[in-house]
Amino acid sequence: MQYMRDTLADAIGPSRTLTGPEKVGVLLLARITEDYKPALREKGRAWLTPKLIASGLAVGFVNVHYPVITGFLILHLANHGNSGAAAFTAYASLILLSRFFLGGLPDRIHPGITFFSGLAAMAIGLLIIPFAVETTGKTLPN
């Protein structure tokens, strides 16, 4: 209990008072006991299982596009028509809209189909980047 009080005091700080919802949260947290003991296992778990490696690779492949868009594309387009802000705005809008409208798709279609279709679409999109068009509409020189 003392650990929780110290943690809350550090998080809140000396110059801030708690509002109503925060007081309710603190009261609810104060009722949680800190005597958790994990169940004993007969044998230890493996650190790297095939399912863990497969899911880690999937997350890695899916998230590879973000640093490309935020790092490379913005800098690339800054030298070619300065349309990086417009490209990132279009990218962010597409991500938000696709998650809103297509987020439930894996619940209706087999998740593998949506996953590999998404990977293919991202690969196509990343391959299109070198052939970007300036805001004037002309193809960029090599």
- Do 95 and 66 meet the contact criterion of CB atoms below 8 Å apart? no
Structure tokens at 136: 């004037």
What pLDDT does 114 receive?
84
Phi, psi of 31 (to 5 degrees): -85, -10
Decide which of 7 and 15 is more confident.
7
The structural domains of the chain, with segments of one domain joined by +, span 1-39, 50-131
Number of Cβ within 10 Å of residue 1's Cβ equals 9
pLDDT band at 7 (very low <50, low <70, confident <90, very high): low
Q: What is the pTM of this model?
A: 0.43
- Rounded Cα distance between 124 and 116, Å, is 12
Report pLDDT digits (tens) over 36-89. Answer: 777 787 787 778 888 888 888 888 877 877 777 777 777 777 776 777 777 778
Structure tokens at 115: 């996953």
What pLDDT does 71 receive?
77
